[in-house]
Amino acid sequence: MSSNLSSSDSPGVIDKLKLPLDSDGAEQTEVGNYFVANYPPFSFWSPDNKDAVYEVLNSPRPEDTNLGVYFHIPFCRKRCHFCYFRVYTDKNANEINAYLDAGIREFERYAQTSYLAGRKPQFVYFGGGTPSYLSVNQLTDLTNRMKDLFPWDETEEVAFECEPGTLTEKKLEALKEIGVTRLSLGIENFDDHILEVNGRAHRSREAFRALKYAKTLGFDQVNIDLIAGMMDETPENWQKCVETAIEQEPDCVTIYQMEIPYNTTIFKEMKESGRISAPVANWPTKRAWVDWAFDQFEQAGYTVNSAYTVVKNPETTKFVYRDSLWEGADLLSAGVASFGHFGGVHYQNQADVGPYMTELDSGELPIYRAYKTNHEERFIREFVLQLKLGMVHPSYFQEKYGEDVMARFPAELKKLEDEGFFSFGDDEIRVSREGMLQIDRLLHGFFLEQHRDARYT
Ligand code: SF4
């Protein structure tokens, strides 16, 4: 499917992007999550397993496991129509301060455990929601207190998610000062009509302004997020969107394919009108659009380095958070609904601010559910997540887990090879472009039998 179109003015470009938007039988976008963010799937995690988290926290600190710290900011200016996260759009400054205080109390509890005391994070990540919704004072105070508990002097990356409309030059200066190294801008599209129809709070002028400030301030790395197949997306606009992104010269671009999970405004409207497929492009169309975008970025000198990302300079543009997590780093995750893991035990926090704060007020960790993985599940987790990078080395799994992946999954690997998605070389399993464009769908074949039909991954 990969095209070699060399010019955006080529008459073939638009045709290439014009796959049927709503043709019968063409893998319509139905409701549900397809993105594999973790393993085993979240639906297998249970409140009954919370003790396993405490067992790890009461054990000695590990000598050779990297630690990441994540903090979740669940506030947004406005709820996007495709958003399925628990976000709050109506909290005032006092309520936000109370939430940040609760988060610090959570970090304090963790800092007192034998497993985490004295450890310094290799990477820090602020996700949401909208971390950039916080004021300069809130950001400075929050990060100072976090650093007191888990110092950042050995931290290789501090990543921070932003909604462009919340960024001022002053706030970006503060983020630089705090130590943010990877600034991630949720631009999604450069067209104001598409941003409006999909319920985004920002408009393109704010995106351009944020990109300009970020460049002036010299962050180590600026990433922009785009989504292929938002409501009302057209081949012509997608082409323009990709070309605009290239003109802006970000260090990294992350491209998602639009999915419509339950709990979104779009799903609710589908339900009311009795629609089965979502009012967005079908999967072959979205794959073609991302494929075309990857080609354009490659021609502009970028390198595709995962199923979702292109980077300008693969030598200098690393994504420590992703790579460390996919190699089994511990993740201390705080904040409402956030999920992390220690020593092979996954956990997720309470999903609503009320119970989250109540648990912390009563001296408990606000953990809602957990899952204790076994050796085989940890191996599969790393294997499927690393496949998203487009290549894995079987020797890595042999050395770390004593598992011969070629012998462990002979039928699945052969099937994916026959379908043109995988190929094999000397200590390499390579994923083709076609495979990369639908990687999340392909990973389920490596899951243990009992996890295969889970839709919520
Ligand atoms: S900005 Fe992100 S978290 Fe906030 S409503 Fe939109 S999609 Fe959801």
| 127 C-beta closer than 6 A to ligand 1 | no
The closest-lying atom of ligand 1 relative to the alpha carbon of residue 163 is 1
| 397 C-beta closer than 6 A to ligand 1 | no
Contacts 24+ apart (CB under 8 A), 200-207: 200/78, 200/80, 201/76, 201/77, 201/78, 201/80, 201/163, 201/165, 202/163, 202/164, 202/165, 202/166, 203/165, 206/164, 206/165, 206/167, 207/164
What is the tens place of the pLDDT at every residue in 135-189? 999 999 999 999 999 999 999 999 999 999 999 999 999 999 999 999 999 999 9
Mean pLDDT of 187-192: 98
The rounded distance, in Å, linking the Cα atoms of 207 and 432 is 33
Domain residue spans of the chain: 29-34+44-323, 375-457
- 153 compared with 15, residue with greater pLDDT: 153
| 107 C-beta closer than 6 A to ligand 1 | no
| 129 C-beta closer than 6 A to ligand 1 | yes
| Residue 178 phi, psi dihedral angles, 5° rounding | -65, -30
Nearest CA to ligand 1 atom 8: 83
| 80 C-beta closer than 6 A to ligand 1 | yes
| 405 C-beta closer than 6 A to ligand 1 | no
Q: What is the pLDDT of residue 13?
A: 52
Nearest CA to ligand 1 atom 2: 129
Q: What is the pLDDT of residue 4?
A: 32
If you measure from the C-alpha of residue 360 to the centroid of ligand 1, how many angstroms do you get, rounded to a whole number?
25
Q: What is the pLDDT of residue 8?
A: 37
If you measure from the C-alpha of residue 156 to the centroid of ligand 1, how many angstroms do you get, rounded to a whole number?
27
Q: What is the pLDDT of residue 6?
A: 34
The closest-lying atom of ligand 1 relative to the alpha carbon of residue 79 is 5
Mean pLDDT of 228-256: 97
Out of 3.40.50.300, 3.40.1390.10, 3.40.50.2000, 3.80.30.20, the CATH code matching 29-34+44-323 is: 3.80.30.20
Question: Would you say residue 85 has pLDDT above 90?
Answer: no
| 87 C-beta closer than 6 A to ligand 1 | yes
Query: Hey, which of 33, 79, 226 would you mutate to test ligand 1's pocket, going by the most ligand atoms within 8 Å of its Cβ?
Result: 79
Mean pLDDT of 405-421: 97
| 335 C-beta closer than 6 A to ligand 1 | no
Question: Would you say residue 205 has pLDDT above 60?
Answer: yes
pLDDT bin (cut points 50, 70, 90) of residue 383 is very high
**Percent of the chain's residues with pLDDT above 90:** 84
Query: Hey, which of 73, 78, 83 would you mutate to test ligand 1's pocket, going by the most ligand atoms within 8 Å of its Cβ?
Result: 83
The closest-lying atom of ligand 1 relative to the alpha carbon of residue 74 is 3
Question: Would you say residue 2 has pLDDT above 50?
Answer: no
Mean pLDDT lowest for which of 118-132, 183-197, 254-268, 341-355?
A: 254-268
**pTM score, whole prediction:** 0.93
Nearest CA to ligand 1 atom 6: 80
Mean pLDDT of 241-269: 92
Summary mean pLDDT of the chain: 92
Nearest CA to ligand 1 atom 7: 83
Mean pLDDT of 361-370: 95
pLDDT bin (cut points 50, 70, 90) of residue 5 is very low
pLDDT bin (cut points 50, 70, 90) of residue 16 is low
Question: Would you say residue 49 has pLDDT above 70?
Answer: yes
**Which amino acid belongs to residue 169?**
E
pLDDT bin (cut points 50, 70, 90) of residue 275 is confident
Nearest CA to ligand 1 atom 3: 129
Q: What is the pLDDT of residue 17?
A: 60
Domain 375-457 part of CATH 1.10.10.920: yes
| 130 C-beta closer than 6 A to ligand 1 | yes
Sign of CA dihedral 245, 247, 248, 252: positive
If you measure from the C-alpha of residue 128 to the centroid of ligand 1, how many angstroms do you get, rounded to a whole number?
7
| 83 C-beta closer than 6 A to ligand 1 | yes
| 225 C-beta closer than 6 A to ligand 1 | no
